[in-house]
Structure 1
Amino acid sequence: MAKEKIVLAYSGGLDTSVILKWLKETYDAEIIAFTADIGQKEELDGLEAKALQTGASKIYIDDLRDEFAADFIYPMFQAGALYEGQYLLGTSIARPLIAKRMVEIARAEGATAIAHGATGKGNDQVRFELTAAALAPELKVIAPWRSDEFQEEFPGRAEMIAYAEKHNIPVQASAAKPYSMDRNLLHISFESGMLEDPWFDSSDEANKSMYVLSVDPEDAPDQAEYVELDFVEGNCVGLNGAELTPLQVMEALNELGGKHGIGRVDMVENRFVGMKSRGVYETPGGTILFSAHRKMESLTMDREVMHLRDSLISKYSSIVYNGFWFAPERLAIQALVTESQKNVTGTVRIKLYKGNVIAAGVKSPVSLYNPDIATMEADPTKAYNQGDATGFIRLNALRLKVASGVEQTSKK
């Protein structure tokens, strides 16, 4: 009788390496490892041999960078998503793509379950499992960290390291970096370890070695650098006149932003599972793109459409953060966002200097800004009669006058 097949989201780190072997033994199952290349760079080196040595019957290492940039990062940026005013959702937006591909592999391989190494305290477990529920409700989801049996066997990292040594699983576990990292095309995140103390200063000189994508703003070049971003319907399609794919845009902006110390965020955020957590993020390219996109909208987007879209930013951001990317409410808001971006076309010039993204010019063939109307000098178009403002103000003041009269009467 054929063994059950389980598709495991596999990074090659201590947790997923141990989980791969544990799943194989506990479920007497065939384990198919899956790693999504979404911009981890050197973290992918040697994964295939390691997964097979650890017990996987097969491993998929799929390059999803183009899809990640075009179909996940770009639509999210069109929506102006910013969680709790600071976080550009770099980890959040990657999870639904990874889970989507896991589902596709599970169906292709005839697997009955998918598994992940997300802990029971984090957001990722929710993101993986909500995506699976939306796309393949027939699949079973195995979350070892929520299993009593797994927790009893591995109450801490020491037991996991001992297990890895016993089973000849090559892992790199060290106290040299007492924090966890998660990297992709959009950002890199740091959490746990010494970062669990919110008084710990992540910007201190002694902690420079922690950062990967960006230099310290104080060490950035003393000379500012300019970059021009070309937009078509809300999407950046080129830099400095050169046409680029979304992936190429993100890679180029990451390099520019990192060079100038742009995109570092240190925050305490509210997890969906109920607790507060402290995270440090580097999002160099995304920070530039976010700022430039907003600048492009300021010239080309209708006021009421912009205000309507902006009223949904908090909701949309929470939807992404909480793992509901494939939920009907996200799709509905995205349809509105797509419509709102039809006129967001033109070029934005940005100045990069020591951690700052500074607006330095914007132009568009479909600009809604008319200098002849906006001028403080004589209006050659005669489109705006300043005298009309008298009635406009009087009508808007009416309810305030009525309310004031009621208040004065009540005080007598």
Structure 2
Amino acid sequence: MADALRVALAGLGTVGAGVVRVLDANRDLIARRAGRPIEVVAVSARDRHKDRGIDLNRFDWVDDTGALAHADADVVVELIGGSDGPALALARATLAAGKGFVTANKAMLAHHGYELAQAAEAAGAPLKFEAAVAGGIPVIKGLREGAAANAIARVYGVLNGTCNFILSTMEAEGRDFAEVLAEAQALGFAEADPSFDIDGVDAAHKLSILAAIAFGSRPAFDAVEAHGIRGVLAADIAEAAALGYRVRLLGVAEAGASGLFQRVHPHLVPVSHPLAHVTGSTNAVVAEGNFVGRLLFQGAGAGEGPTASAVVADLIDIARREFGPPFAMPAASLETPEPADGGSRRGRAYVRFSVVDKVGVLAEIAAAMRDAGVSIESLIQRGAAVDGSVLVAIVTHEGPERSVAQALERLRGSQSLTGEPLWMHILG
């Protein structure tokens, strides 16, 4: 058997410790599949003395994380996170040294993926990041390799487990957002500051990576329109259910003649669609190819075991010397498409208003929709007033999104509204 693949590991949090556990537990199987042993030889983390439940005495400890790029190792695994700072410095130094680099850092790839792909290509070194999107689900490999013969029309899915746990729990139990968020934080599904998750930023990072692979473009996080789930009420989820839908936060990317469209936004998903049945912290990604048809990748999107599994899968590929361009084609071939105008997209929408309980409010809303050219399929008001306000929901016929935006702009500042309207797209 060939010499071992030597690995330097930066970050010994949940996933980093998990990588060590996977390599220990499946050592012989991994060596057989890789054609050579895979061994961690050096590690670096903030606290040398923290009990992580693994034996660190067998590894060289490196206090300066950046020095791992020059350790006696073939590959550096980065699991410290952050779009810039030590993680980016380590990536640049590792690739400049001609060594392989494996990361789960979606923020860094979303912001600097093109630069790192160029550096990897120039050095002839592997850059792998299966764990950066959807945890243990092999969606990167599936798009980059399994669907390589296809033109991808659209890629979309449930990309954030925290939001999906919150929405599916609200759906199952009829509870409001704030209460379920607190539970998610207590269970460890959400951070103390959950903004990256619930405001759609985490999903936007992942979507920009998927779009780059699917459409042969440079990762463009700044072009992703991101909206989260803070405004979703239990009443919205109940109304969606009554209409035959479930609420999910979806990332959607689609390439067309007008450019590349990328958006993270809460959607009403028909109960007949597979994504409507993705619950808890599960992730799922759908890709639509012109020959393979609809592909569905579904599984655990986070956690020690699934994410560590994806990291080790990348190491096995490197041990086999199986790697190609990080974003499925040479960096020089990656395009920089114009961001598509979402306003010209056609679809149906769910718009919910919180309004004063008085005569004439419905007429005011209907008039704003009419004047903007929005055709209303149904207008729904259920329940009695609470604190003088009632909820009114509208489902539109198919039409340009720009018209809905114009209608909402006409209603901005109206004394009839007691809160910000909630706009959710209907997946079609």
Give the TM-score of the pair, scaled to structure 2: 0.25
Q: Which has the larger radius of gyration?
A: 1
Say which structure is richer in strand: 2
Q: Which has the higher helix share?
A: 1
